[in-house]
Structure 1
């Protein structure tokens, strides 16, 4: 009792400083190292499922995750979208979905991926359209957008597409690409989520 009376204030200060130190450490661990800026993302103009023009810059102020795909892809594209849906669900639970974070999926194959086909794909995958735009356009427009981002894509004679497997882009609130992720089974959702948290300050 005597020690508490004599040193109570000092003990309280020490405890508070320790708690602050733990909080700062936890925050810095969650934030991770600063993300580099790769380049300014191209400000595309494509059409959503309702035929409304959408520009990347329309969502400035939000963190964006941009995916390139075609819905008839047998493996890597649906696996990537499936992983993104899992990210979507976590962001919804944290109150970040739609207001601080926006997803985009852009098709390589607008001739086959009509709005109806693309919508069916989105419904099947569990996409929440309140924070996720499925975008299309002419074959040239979508192909040019992919190439502007740095995605190499080639249409094969059978109508399928081959493309680089790093076709998933993290774009910050000012339109700068901060990270390019591998797709499919090589995706690390925890790393992607931590980088999204870092950019949103959550």
Structure 2
């Protein structure tokens, strides 16, 4: 099954990726790894997850970067750059999204130090475009220590909440829905967290899916990124 055409997730729990048994693995696993990959098979087999995983094609989509004014198309990076992707929102009240952004930021810093930053694109996508305006995203970048001047970081912002919903469900199998915020949070609404990070190589093949992104060991993730980019 091509996960780009139809993906569904069943349940979202804070910090946990929803999975479904309907999506099979597109890659052929073996001792030397799936076809087209740099890394060997992961310790945890996620081939039954609703989201793309090891050996699958990275979903292709086009979303604006409001800070640069560019339309970012994932497929345009194929042959030139690896991609590190996650989804988030700046009003996240419990630290999950900052933890995701931290891991992308550390990968960005390591790429700059290793001088392979121009071979990596970091693509965090907000599913709350109503509140995550260009101004808010720029301020958030400063708060999180993101280097926007490096030229490899793109905050992706769908045109509308509904567009973001469709993009997340159809491409990543993740159902995004607003829920009422607890009164003490001083928020109008919030979202469940999936915490998914995807790493795809320069050929557009997923090398790693990190379903518990906020708990993923940073050094291991940075090492995976370096191995994939510099292979």
Matched residue SS, 2:180: coil
| Structure 2, unpaired ranges of 5+ | 1-37, 43-52, 182-188
Question: Given the superposition, is the C-alpha separation of residues 173 and 55 from structure 1 closer, same or farther in structure 2, using an over 3 Å criterion?
Answer: same
Cα distance in 1, alignment partners of residues 85 and 224 from structure 2: 14
Q: Is the 8 A contact 2:96 2:193 kept in 1?
A: no
TM-score (norm 2): 0.67
Aligned counterpart in structure 1 of residue 154 of structure 2, from 127, 133, 137: 133
Cα distance in 1, alignment partners of residues 97 and 74 from structure 2: 21
Cα distance in 2, alignment partners of residues 178 and 140 from structure 1: 29
Q: Is the 8 A contact 2:58 2:205 kept in 1?
A: yes
Q: Structure 1 residues 102-111 or 187-196, which shifts more?
A: 187-196
Cα distance in 2, alignment partners of residues 87 and 175 from structure 1: 18
| 1:108-187 correspondence runs (5 A) | 108-129=127-148, 130-137=151-158, 138-147=160-169, 148-158=171-181, 159-165=189-195, 167-181=196-210, 182-184=212-214, 186-187=215-216
| 1:42-81 correspondence runs (5 A) | 42-48=59-65, 49-60=67-78, 61-74=80-93, 75-81=95-101
Cα distance in 2, alignment partners of residues 180 and 100 from structure 1: 19
| Structure 1, unpaired ranges of 5+ | 1-30
Q: Is the 8 A contact 1:38 1:177 kept in 2?
A: yes
- Richer in helix (by share): 1
Residue of structure 2 in register with 1:189 after alignment: 218
Cα distance in 1, alignment partners of residues 229 and 102 from structure 2: 23
- Richer in strand (by share): 1
Q: Deviations over 1:64-112 (max 9, x none)?
A: 1001000000211012212322222111100011x11110110010000
Cα distance in 2, alignment partners of residues 50 and 198 from structure 1: 29
